[in-house]
Structures are given as C-alpha cells and as structure tokens.
C-alpha cells in the first residue's frame, strides 16, 4: 500500500469517522467531524491534494501541509503516531479546502486536538505524543467524556482548556519564530493565517 493510499484509508477509517467537536470561531462555532476528513480523502482521490513522502523538515516538524501547493508532506506512515500526525495535517488541509477564515493559532489548536483524539482512540500512550499534543489532553478528555456518556450532538470544547492549547501554540518556538509557515514574528499573531486557497 502506498502512503497516499494509507492516508486515504486513515481518513475514511473508524477513528476519523468518530471525531466530532466544535470550537469558537468568528462569533459562532466551527464543527470538525467525519465530513471534514471525508472531504480531504476525496480531494486526495481527485488529485486536488497531493501526498508527497519526504523526511526533510524544519527542526521540530514531523510533517507539513502546504496550502500554496495543496500538498501533504509526510514521512512514510507506519504506526499510530504517524497516523495521528497525518490526521493533524489533514485538518489543515480541510481548512484550506473550505477556504476557512481562521487564525493560525485556532487552526493549529484544532489540528492538535484532532491528532490527540486519534491517538487516544487508537490506544497510543500519551508518553508517545508530542508535547503540544499532550497539551491538548484536557480538551480531548472533555470531548471523549461526551462520547463516553452517550450524549447527543457534537461536543463543544471546554473554553478554558481550548484557550490553554491556543496559548501553548502561540508561544511555541516553531510557530512564534515562523518555521512552520506562519508569519509570526511579533505577538500577537492570533490573526495571522495560513494560505487557504482551496
């Protein structure tokens, strides 16, 4: 199976299909759910998004999504951590496909929550998560509690935990100094956005 095929399978898989949550955006709520990932999978099938295998990334970066070229850059995808990382990058791809107006801080926070949810759902020990994914744990625990008790609807993120992961992202050297692609030279960079050209 090629990496491209594996990415499509992950996006159409059971865990991706269970992910659902809302977070505050633009005075309302933005929903991430199975349709989010189904759209990305279809865009890959239709060659609107490319999947390129590489091991060359800036320091501290494990994979990337380029909105300017509509390309997921990833090492070969073998284990659950690689799969969680793909889910993170595909969240960026989803925002790009929908041309969503979202700050880089909120977009990264959502991507970290998605990756951490996927990691938890597949039983990957948190000791194997990246530090930023671990920082998303409180958001993830709140969402998973909603799933576990069988509550109807789509759970909203816990506001305090959401603001925490946003701040962690805002202050992280990868984003603050810009090597991950955000023009983040000065604070606050809350309104800076990645390229979203669909």
Predicted confidence (pLDDT) at residue 47 exceeds the cutoff of 90: yes
What phi, psi does 191 have (nearest 5°)?
Answer: -100, -5
Predicted confidence (pLDDT) at residue 183 exceeds the cutoff of 50: no
Predicted confidence (pLDDT) at residue 181 exceeds the cutoff of 80: no
Largest CA distance in the chain: 44
Q: Residue 104 has what pLDDT?
A: 85
Burial class (CB in 10 A: 0-12, 13-18, 19+), 133: buried
Residue 189: which pLDDT band, with cuts at 50, 70 and 90? very low
Pick 189 or 167 by higher pLDDT: 167
Mean pLDDT, range 57-68, rounded to an integer: 88
Distance CA 170, CA 104 (A): 9
pLDDT in tens, 71-85: 999 999 999 999 999
pTM to 2 decimal places? 0.92
Distance CA 187, CA 189 (A): 5
Residue 178: which pLDDT band, with cuts at 50, 70 and 90? low
Pick 88 or 59 by higher pLDDT: 88
pLDDT in tens, 79-117: 999 999 999 999 999 999 999 998 888 999 999 999 999
Distance CA 90, CA 45 (A): 14
Q: Residue 194 has what pLDDT?
A: 75
Q: What rounded mean pLDDT belongs to the chain?
A: 90
């Amino acid at each position: 199976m090629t990496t491209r095929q594996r990415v499509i399978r992950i996006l159409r898989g059971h865990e991706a299909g269970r992910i659902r949550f809302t977070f505050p955006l633009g005075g309302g709520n933005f929903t991430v759910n199975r349709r989010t990932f189904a759209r990305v999978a279809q865009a890959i099938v239709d060659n609107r998004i490319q999947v390129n295998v590489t091991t060359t990334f800036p320091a501290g970066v494990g994979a990337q999504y380029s909105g300017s070229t509509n390309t997921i850059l990833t090492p070969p995808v073998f284990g659950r951590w690689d799969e969680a990382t793909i889910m993170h990058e595909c969240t960026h791809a989803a925002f790009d496909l929908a041309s969503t107006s979202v700050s880089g801080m909120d977009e990264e926070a959502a991507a970290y929550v998605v990756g951490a949810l996927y990691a938890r759902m597949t039983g990957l020990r948190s000791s194997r998560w990246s530090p930023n994914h671990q920082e998303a744990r409180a958001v993830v625990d709140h969402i998973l509690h909603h799933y576990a008790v069988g509550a109807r609807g789509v759970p909203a993120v816990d506001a305090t935990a959401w603001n925490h992961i946003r701040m962690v992202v805002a202050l992280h050297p990868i984003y603050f100094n810009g090597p991950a692609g955000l023009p983040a030279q000065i604070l606050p960079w809350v309104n800076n956005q990645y390229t979203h050209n669909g």
